[in-house]
Structure 1
Amino acid sequence: MKKVFYVMAMSMLITAVSCSKGTEGTKPVDTKPVETTPTSFTAADATTAYTAFNRYFYNTSAKLYYSTTRRDGLAAIWTQAIYWDMAMNVYERTKDPAQLTMINDMYQGGFNQYDGYNWDNTTTWFIYDDMMWWVMALARANQLTGNDVYLQKAIAGFNRVWNGSYDPANGGMFWDFKHSGKNACINYPTVIAAMRLYKITGDASYLDKAKLIYSWSKANLMDAVTGRIADHKIGNNAPGYEDYTYNQGTAIGAAVALYKETKEVGYLDDAKLVAGYTQTKMGSNGLLPAEGDFNEQGVLKAIFAQYMVQLITDGGQSQYLDWVRTNINTGWKNRDTDRNLTFRNYAIHCPTGDIQSYEASSIVTFMQLCPPQQ
């Protein structure tokens, strides 16, 4: 993801700001909050939501997604990996053979659009975290399909990022080619990718790298008292704390992955602490924050969904289930009922005009992952 840098006048220290995206067209006007109590979503609703998302955003020729309902340009490179994860979620939920075709089609779409996943192309790939989102998705696609091509692309991508991003002197992963800072959006995804590759290959070096980066991240990017995740760490400066759901989510995902493998309860405790901060300190009235003012931040809660639900299912933490379902039910209740599209701000009706795939993605993702209330 692109970041915006600014200079602090007093200290002259550089601080990296994650996901400060430019605008794309004219943003929709938010409507008044809705007061009605939502009913519980169903499995059929999850299918309806995904079908609608594809109808309005999927480019059947490019086999990738548009950025908005105008359908006049593709979504950002890193967000396509998040949408690919969504397709895999649907396949895991439904086991529909047509969805397996969708997974393979999206791989080909990325192959065609991004120079065959040539990780050495520094025009296509211009920051490390963009690569790592795809590495995570490629590894998962191999786990689901058994396609060795996906695994080899994931391994090559991981090696490219590790060799260019890892700081052997001071630890941690740099998010950009200029090594200007170490952000949560590269460090925690590196742990998740390494754990997936370890599970696939059995190569213990991936587990070692996952533990190494997690340890650095916990020491430098996590408030061990509150569970708040810092967005970035620049040199020897204090961590830059800014609340983003995707950073909270990938921190949870990294901790859960390590807990599942090692059974060390400390990792699970970390995941619960981070989840607790997100639940109690971010957003309002029990709803997650409405990130993404017509920019790529709209996709952040789709990433959070991926790993928050893993804490519930893989981590056995059902105490968060009602909270997650409340978010889903509220967002789905407030959808644009003509199009069945959902919005980044769950508390208001989805605007009826042009909206982004980014801001329409998170409720759809949550619905594929979270079991409906029986």
Structure 2
Amino acid sequence: MPLSLIITLFISSCSKKGIEEPAPKPSAFPPSTTTFSATDATIAFNSFNNIYYSPTDKLYYSTTEKKGIAAIWTQAIYWDIVMNAYERTKDQAYYKMITDMYDGGAKRYDNYNWDNSVEWFIYDDMMWWVMSLARAYEITKNQVYLDKAKSGFTKVWNGSYDPVKGGMFWDFKHSGKNACINFPTVIAAMRLYNITKDESYLTKAKSIYTWSRENLFDISKGRVADHKVGDNNPGFEDYTYNQGTLIGAAILLYRNTNIQSYLDDAKLAANYTKNTMSDPSGILPAEGDWNEQGVLKAIFAQYLADLAKAYPAGDYAKWAVFNANTAWENRDFGRGTMHRNYKVPCPTGIVQSYESSSAVAFMQLFAPTN
């Protein structure tokens, strides 16, 4: 669900003044090697599951109280974390969680019936799942996952794409075009292209990225806008998930085309997140004061890892490790859970799964190998 459901849309202007990449600030975070271990990453993931995962529902609870299931779109993000844990460890128990979570989602969300406008009431909710379904197919080769991803992508494309002005609408009423649907559409299209080699997916990905870069990205800063409504100026609001999905979209296009500008865009977005959105030491913002925004940095982690692999000369992995280390050192030692604000001890009372998720994601993606 986009942040536009939570906040009131506002429009702010932003001029685009060129494409020169600003020089990154000197790293303030320690350039040391990883301090948390692969074992720590496994403990963090298992602790997250012990506190938040429902074996009955095969989905995650919204809080430590275990009284309700987390929001529909965030379950797809949690599914990615499960896949990250499996890819890191090859633990068959985590592989089973991949298949279990698919079953849990199918039971709860009408077997991924994309025509059910009660369960699926916003386009980006669908696209988060499409992205994860395609990835689950890459891991398991379960044809059902691919079929659901393809049908979901088609449903969103047919309802969301603007054939006149370009870009994707985030809601059924076509009230605006948000980053949370446009860049994920590129990621989903590129994953499906890599699986199927169907050129139409690549064409769609390039088209949406071009529109999004022109309308939702300040290339002088590396800043991603949250939304654009009609012909108004883009609404610039700083959220890590928007920065992250631009990075993910750009890296997938770069890997498939070797066009340098895609990699440059990803670096710009990452540098803005590190140099402007983070605190002077490099700690990412504590998004998510008791709402779904707590999951945003888990999305950012997913695609920062892609950039770190594509451009190892950058210090992105060190930055990620510094954030994960800080959160891990401030964990609730009783429950093993971490918090959205990495700089403070995790509260011992009621905590949301959203708030605890992102540091777990960072640890799975940036843990050292055993």
TM-score, with structure 2 as normaliser: 0.91
Contact 2:74 2:295 in 1 (8 A): yes
Partner of 1:298: 294
The answer to which of 210-219 and 280-289 deviates more is 280-289
The Cα shift of 1:316 comes to 3.1
Partner of 1:310: 306
Distance (whole Å) between structure 1 residues aligned to residue 336 and residue 7 of structure 2: 38
Aligned runs of 1:1-374 on 2, under 5 Å?
1=1, 3-4=5-6, 6=8, 40-284=35-279, 285-372=281-368
Identity %: 62
The answer to which of 312-321 and 129-138 deviates more is 312-321
Contact 1:198 1:204 in 2 (8 A): yes
Three-state SS of the structure 2 residue aligned to 1:162 is helix
TM superposition outliers: structure 1 runs of 4+ over 4 Å? 4-8
Three-state SS of the structure 1 residue aligned to 2:223 is coil
Distance (whole Å) between structure 2 residues aligned to residue 6 and residue 312 of structure 1: 34
Partner of 1:27: none
Contact 1:249 1:303 in 2 (8 A): yes
Task: Return closer, same or farther for 1:14/1:244 CA change in 2, 3 Å cut-off.
Answer: closer
Distance (whole Å) between structure 1 residues aligned to residue 278 and residue 196 of structure 2: 39
Contact 2:12 2:233 in 1 (8 A): no
The Cα shift of 1:100 comes to 1.0
The Cα shift of 1:319 comes to 1.9
AA at the equivalent of 1:188: F
The Cα shift of 1:38 comes to 12
The Cα shift of 1:272 comes to 0.3
Distance (whole Å) between structure 2 residues aligned to residue 308 and residue 5 of structure 1: 26
The Cα shift of 1:314 comes to 3.2
Contact 1:334 1:342 in 2 (8 A): yes
Distance (whole Å) between structure 1 residues aligned to residue 99 and residue 76 of structure 2: 13
Task: Return closer, same or farther for 1:343/1:38 CA change in 2, 3 Å cut-off.
Answer: farther
Contact 1:181 1:233 in 2 (8 A): yes
Contact 1:227 1:275 in 2 (8 A): yes
What do the CA deviations read for 1:55-81 (whole angstroms, capped 9, x no partner)? 000000000000000000000000000
The answer to which of 197-206 and 94-103 deviates more is 94-103
What do the CA deviations read for 1:204-233 (whole angstroms, capped 9, x no partner)? 000000000000000000001100000000
AA at the equivalent of 1:292: G
Task: Return closer, same or farther for 1:242/1:7 CA change in 2, 3 Å cut-off.
Answer: closer
The Cα shift of 1:4 comes to 4.4
What do the CA deviations read for 1:71-105 (whole angstroms, capped 9, x no partner)? 00000000000000001001100111121111000
AA at the equivalent of 1:131: M
Contact 2:186 2:209 in 1 (8 A): yes
The Cα shift of 1:320 comes to 1.5
Distance (whole Å) between structure 2 residues aligned to residue 197 and residue 321 of structure 1: 27
| Coordinate RMSD, CA, aligned | 1.8
What do the CA deviations read for 1:288-309 (whole angstroms, capped 9, x no partner)? 0000001000000000000001
Contact 2:34 2:368 in 1 (8 A): no
Partner of 1:23: none
Partner of 1:32: none
Task: Return closer, same or farther for 1:226/1:99 CA change in 2, 3 Å cut-off.
Answer: same
Distance (whole Å) between structure 1 residues aligned to residue 116 and residue 12 of structure 2: 27
AA at the equivalent of 2:63: T
What do the CA deviations read for 1:151-209 (whole angstroms, capped 9, x no partner)? 00000000000000000000000000000000000000000000000000010000000
Task: Return closer, same or farther for 1:263/1:38 CA change in 2, 3 Å cut-off.
Answer: closer
Q: Which runs of 5+ in 2 are unaligned?
A: 14-31
AA at the equivalent of 2:327: G
AA at the equivalent of 2:40: D
